[in-house]
Structure 1
Amino acid sequence: MVRSDAVGQRAIRVPDAAEDDPRVCGLSAAVARLRAELDAYPARLHDRRTAEDELDALDVQIAEGVPSSDGLRHSLLLIVAAVGSVSALADALSGLRNAVELFGEAQEFRRVN
């Protein structure tokens, strides 16, 4: 079994200002679920470290307050690229995607006519 060296070592606290935002709490739960399922996944994954690093980046964004949709989408993209083909992680990954979507669309460049 191949597992992360940091299994069970993470505990992120949601800041007081963000505790009342159900999106932040849901995102935190989705990150924790995917991390737990990734840690428990027994097969060797070439990009496991990339996924773990991006889950850490999401934890940092959560710890700083309400995260930006751009940062969330960037991390989600890298996580999907790293482990998106692993069917055993599909439900947890879908939960993370759904949690990220609650933060709205990324800001798009708008041209003024």
Structure 2
Amino acid sequence: MLRSLGRRPVSGSDEDLRVAALRTAVSRLRRELAAHPAEFPDRGIAEDELAALAAMTVDGTPEVSRLRRSLLVIAGAIGSVSALSGGLSKVRDAVDLFGEPPRR
């Protein structure tokens, strides 16, 4: 579903639909993480990186390589918490909308 989103603006604004999808997915995962009752060693890392991702959605189109790095950090921090896997998948799908980072 998210893959069909392009760079068209959201109705009534000039916002990139990919950015809107990323903002929504990050917000959802942040809420799920906040509501998750169990503590785990890298929870703080995941929370910090999700906050960084949320901040990236404020200033226009984020840098793809930075998005991918954040996704890896978040996946590493919460990857074994199965209750958060759906939210993590949505964030990954939203990051994928931006394509691959440029080759060096």
Q: Tell me the TM-score normalised to structure 2 length.
A: 0.84
Q: State yes or no: 1:62 paired with 2:69.
A: no
Divergent runs of 4+, >2 A: none
Q: Give the C-alpha shift of residue 20 in structure 1.
A: 2.5
* Structure 2 stretches lacking a partner, 5+ long: 1-12
Pick closer, same or farther for the CA change 1:57–1:46 going to 2, 3 Å: same
Amino-acid identity (%)? 51
Q: C-alpha separation between the residues in 2 aligned to 1:53 and 1:107?
A: 26
Structure 1 residues 50 and 107, CA gap change in structure 2 (3 angstroms): same
For 1:33-72, list aligned pairs within 5 A.
Answer: 33-72=28-67
Q: What's the CA shift string for 1:47-77, capped at 9, x where partnerless?
A: 0100011011111211121101111001000
User: Greater CA radius of gyration, 1 or 2?
Assistant: 1
Secondary structure of the residue aligned to 1:45 is: coil
Question: 1:93 is matched with which residue?
Answer: 88
- Count of residue pairs brought into register by the alignment: 92
Deviations 1:26-61 (A, max 9, x none): 000000000000001000111010001101111121
5+ residue gaps, structure 1: 1-17
